[in-house]
Amino acid sequence: MNGRPASARGIPVDRGLQARMVVGLALIVVFPVLFVVVLEAALGTIVPAVTSGLTGVDPGIEPVVDRRLLLVAILAGLVGQYTYGDRLALRSLDARPVTDDEYPALTAAVSRLAQQADLPVPSVAIVESEAPNAFATGRTRASTTIVVTTGLLDSLDAAERDAVLAHELAHVANRDVTVMTIAYLLPTITYLVATSAYTILRTVFHSLRFLRTGHDNDGRAVAAVIVVVVVTTIVTVAVASLFWIASFLLYRLLCRYREHAADRGAAELTGDPLALASALETIDGELKRTPDRDLRQLDGGVEALYVAPLDFAQFTEDGDDGLLSKDLFPDTHPETADRIERLRSMAVELETTEST
């Protein structure tokens, strides 16, 4: 591989990425408010109209959510995600902190690259998995943990390993690790609301066959209750799904841009774009041969944070019905082939610059 010895050159901050992150954070706060307002309006108009039209009974539903309580709940959720999000990510994967004695080459490389990038030295954790991958998580630059799988250490040589570590440090330098930890809260909440309402709706339909209202004097009232439950659930599923799509789309578009920025940062830090290109090529090939079951175990809700994507069906598993297909969304990462091509172009530009 062509490259030059790394010096204390640091990692240039990607201003374009930081601007996108600011917009993303603003939308993370705005989206839940819009979600509640739209859901409130939909339930207050559609449910009474449908119920009255089908049964002749006015349910008198006027859902109102206290805006102050709503803002408090949103802020509490963001603070909770900021405080505990990195720990939950590490726990979900059984990531184990390592010492210098256990993995001296790995921890030494992380320390050296962090010093060159003018960053606090992150903690290092290992995930026992044959699938090669890595990611960074943490609330601040000073509390970052770089996580690598045993498969990555087995698959890459020293230069490729350093390039991947530099990629993760570039995420830390751009501060997008913190933002992405918080950003995942919104699509998670809206997805849980949508799937919960979907489950309730299925339960109601399955329960209808057990109802016998033919000799009930209050048959219209019972029918009205059923209609209210069914229509409320349908409206909730519809609104939550729309906002889930929007929030997940936002999240994934941020993910795609941040990967290109981290690739550039890694190439700048190591001075060897081809090492990262070679690492991505190796990781991509190994992941394609990894069974979906193993990839799901490696996911842990942090799929978008990895240096390379985990390509498996996220919204359906073992034949169960899924709410939506992953094909509706852009991938969490740019195409690996495109990233490799960009890195090779950077290597050519670097050689041209050095030769002049």
Q: Which long-range contacts (CB under 8 A, 24 or more apart) does 154-158 make?
A: 154/130, 155/282, 155/283, 155/286, 156/132, 156/279, 156/282, 156/283, 158/105, 158/109
Dist. CA 207–CA 228, nearest whole Å: 15
CB 114: neighbour CB atoms within 10 A? 22
Longest dimension (CA), the chain: 94
Which bin fits 82, alpha (ψ -120 to 50), beta or left (φ > 0)? alpha
- Which residue among the candidates 168, 259, 268, 286 is catalytic per the annotation? 168
Sheet holding 96-97, edge to edge: 96-97, 123-127, 145-149, 134-137
Q: Contact 283/132 with Cβ under 8 angstroms?
A: yes
> Would you call 335 a catalytic residue per the annotation?
no
- Enumerate the active-site residues: 168
